[in-house]
Amino acid sequence: MTKERTGSNKNSMAPLGELFSGVYAEKQWKNQWRLYHLAREWPTIVGPEVARLTMPAFFRQETLWIYVQDSAWMHHLQFIKLDLLVRVNQALEEQPIVDLRWQLQPHLPPQPERRLPDPQPVDAGQEQSFRQMTDGIANQDCREALQRLWRIFAAYPR
């Protein structure tokens, strides 16, 4: 990937890491990256009990909206809001937020249960051939795990 530059080095190569900030700014992904960082570290930031019932939802200007599982927890979080705001801002480091707001977590529609097709009989010759290929694996547990994986893969063809 090349970076647009002025002068004679217009088409010179640049490290990919240098290009990310420009791409994120151009695509306006910075808030998504901040949200991903918060979501990944959420239990560490707010503690396991709060993290179990909440999750960062989105940014709106300088406010972080947090999904909460029920209104009782929304009420409780109001009492620890300032502490949570300090913790979140420590995690964000750059671009601190000025407020936290709560929103009930939307319920996702139930996903239809996917049923696996019935397993097919495994060809004995192919299984024997695979076992011979894996006989050279010194660790017996690894060898057997690989053979089980192959068997499952072979029983459920695409």
Kindly state the tokens that stand for 146.
């690989």
DSSP annotation of 138 reads S
Residue 146: how many CB atoms within 10 A of its CB? 16
> Can you name the CATH fold of 18-104?
Alpha-Beta Plaits (3.30.70)
Average pLDDT of span 11-20: 69
pLDDT digits (tens, 9 = 90+) for 96-147: 899 999 999 888 777 787 777 788 888 899 999 999 999 988 999 888 999 9
- Which residue in the block uniquely carries the two structure tokens 């109001």? 78
- In DSSP notation, 19-66 reads HHHHHHHHHT-HHHHHHHHHHHHHHHHH-HHHHHHEEEEEEETTEEEE
Per-residue pLDDT tens digits for 22-79: 666 666 677 788 888 899 999 999 999 999 999 999 998 899 999 999 999 999 999 9
Bridge partners, 58 (sequence order) = 65
pLDDT band per the 50, 70, 90 thresholds, residue 21: low
Reduced to 3 states (helix: H, G, I; strand: E, B; else coil), residue 67 is strand
- The pLDDT assigned to 116 comes to 75
Tell me: the pLDDT tens digits for 77-94?
999 999 999 999 999 877
Whether residue 157 has pLDDT greater than 70? yes
How many CB atoms are located within 10 Å of the residue 69 CB? 13
Question: How confident is the model at residue 9, as a pLDDT?
Answer: 54
* pLDDT band per the 50, 70, 90 thresholds, residue 7: very low
Q: What confidence score (pLDDT) does residue 1 get?
A: 45
Round to whole Å and give the CA distance between 138 and 73: 54
